[in-house]
Amino acid sequence: MASAVSSSALSGGVDVVALLEQLAALPAAPFHEAYVAECIVALLQAAGLECRADRYGNLLAWHRGARDRAAPGHPAPLVFGAHMDHPGLEVVSTEPLVGRLLGARRTPLEYWTRGVPVRFYFDGQEALGRITGAQVAEGEVALALESDASMPAGAFGVFDVGSFRVEGEWLHLRAADDLAGCAAIISALARCAAQQVPADIGGLFTRAEEAGLLGATLAARDRLLPPGTLFISVEASKALPGAELGGGAVIRVGDLASAFHPRGDALLCAARQRLAAEAPSVLVQRQLMSGGTCEATAFVAAGYETGGVAVPLGNYHNAGPDFTIAAEYIHRRDLESAAALLFAAAQEQAEPLHAGETAQRLALQAERAAPRLAASAAGWRFLPPRV
């Protein structure tokens, strides 16, 4: 399958919807991300960005804009991360034809019992088929399959829920989670390169997130990112109250498993303030997104400082109404807001180190109140000796 890159997606203001459409045309599942990875490499190279891979196939791209990395107060590297995979399946037996579900383990079995259409990929070929049943076996979801063609064990499949389509302001696609994050990062990096942002801004595109944050965990374990790097996870995440579809990208203060670092939150809040001044029509929300666990948690566990950005998502993991498998969907405004927020964060990261607005306000209030506090405390005879 070809993964031709349209240069128009990287020209001018960088059309993040066009980027997403290119990525959405390609199949991917955990351990089977080659088509998407090839397209991402081509898009990065077209934007003039440096791109390398680790031994696990995670991609790390850089806009190298820092001018003097040894100078005091030099901005630390900032890396945005997204994953290239999406729930799918893998053939494990051909007689009978049986597969295992890759990702979406919390999706009820009822979703897999109604003849879900599937597209299989193997040896450069494509075949149509369907899921006809499911059961839990040895902790995994085993899928009964049918296909119009014979295929080997190891072939992978994606849910055949239709091509990328735009309906008004809504974008429908099989895998918004997390191709939307990939597109937003590519857009932001391309803008950093075009406008020569004076900081080192990276993009990490990982594998097998849906199988348990595997690529991100290995990248964090191997210290793939430079010391002092601030890591920002970017993901399409289940819409929740306070993180509404159409309300703009979400500054994600945490996920189901972890709270993220104040440094990441402060940077993203500063980026929101920049957008409010420069592009007030761009909406940004802020919320704890507890609908799932994202890759920032893998970097939290490895000791990195982190933050998160989310695009609110409908039909999370293709779970549609009435136990149907359907396309995921996002709002155009939220995707464009995410790309704008990432670029604004990169611009903020390039600024000289300074205290944020909240820290400045708290320090000023405390300084003004210090004499009164000290005077009143002097009359408290019960206090222990002063330190």
Q: Write down the domain spans for the chain.
A: 7-86+163-349, 88-159
For the chain, give the percent of residues with pLDDT over 90. Answer: 76
- The conformation of residue 107, written as its DSSP 8-state character, comes to S
Q: In what order do the strands lie in the sheet with 78-83?
A: 50-53, 59-64, 200-206, 78-83, 230-238, 305-313, 249-252, 284-287
pLDDT of residue 148: 85
Fold of the domain built from segment(s) 7-86+163-349 = Aminopeptidase (3.40.630)
The alpha carbon of residue 317 and the mean position of all alpha carbons in its chain are separated, in whole angstroms, by 14
Q: Of 109 and 72, which is predicted with more confidence?
A: 109
pLDDT of residue 363: 80
Q: Residues 72, 74, 76, CA angle at the centre, nearest 5°?
A: 130
- Of 103, 85, 89, nearest in space to 23 by CA: 85
Q: What is the C-alpha to C-alpha distance for residues 332 and 320, in angstroms, rounded to an integer? A: 20
Q: Residues 7, 201, 297, CA angle at the centre, nearest 5°?
A: 110
Q: What is the CA radius of gyration of the chain?
A: 23
pLDDT of residue 125: 92
Q: What is the C-alpha to C-alpha distance for residues 379 and 80, in angstroms, rounded to an integer? A: 53
Q: What are phi and psi of 152, to 5 degrees?
A: -85, 160
pTM of the model: 0.90
Q: What is the C-alpha to C-alpha distance for residues 116 and 340, in angstroms, rounded to an integer? A: 36
Give the H or E element holding residue 375: helix 357-378
User: Going by C-beta distance under 8 Å and a sequence separation of 6 or more, which residues neighbour residue 44?
Assistant: 51, 59, 61, 186, 189, 203
pLDDT digits (tens, 9 = 90+) for 31-59: 999 999 999 999 999 999 999 999 999 99
pLDDT of residue 7: 45
Q: What is the C-alpha to C-alpha distance for residues 48 and 30, in angstroms, rounded to an integer? A: 28
CATH of domain 88-159: 2.40.30
Q: What is the DSSP string of 37-99?
A: HHHHHHHHHHTT-EEEE-TTS-EEEEEE--S-TTSTTPPPPEEEEEE---SEEEEEEETTEEE
Report, as an integer, the average pLDDT of 191-205.
Answer: 95
The answer on pLDDT for 355 being more than 50 is no
pLDDT digits (tens, 9 = 90+) for 138-190: 788 999 999 988 889 999 999 999 999 999 999 999 999 999 999 999 999 99
The answer on pLDDT for 373 being more than 60 is yes
Q: What is the C-alpha to C-alpha distance for residues 82 and 181, in angstroms, rounded to an integer? A: 5
- Of 198, 197, 214, nearest in space to 206 by CA: 214
The answer on pLDDT for 268 being more than 90 is yes
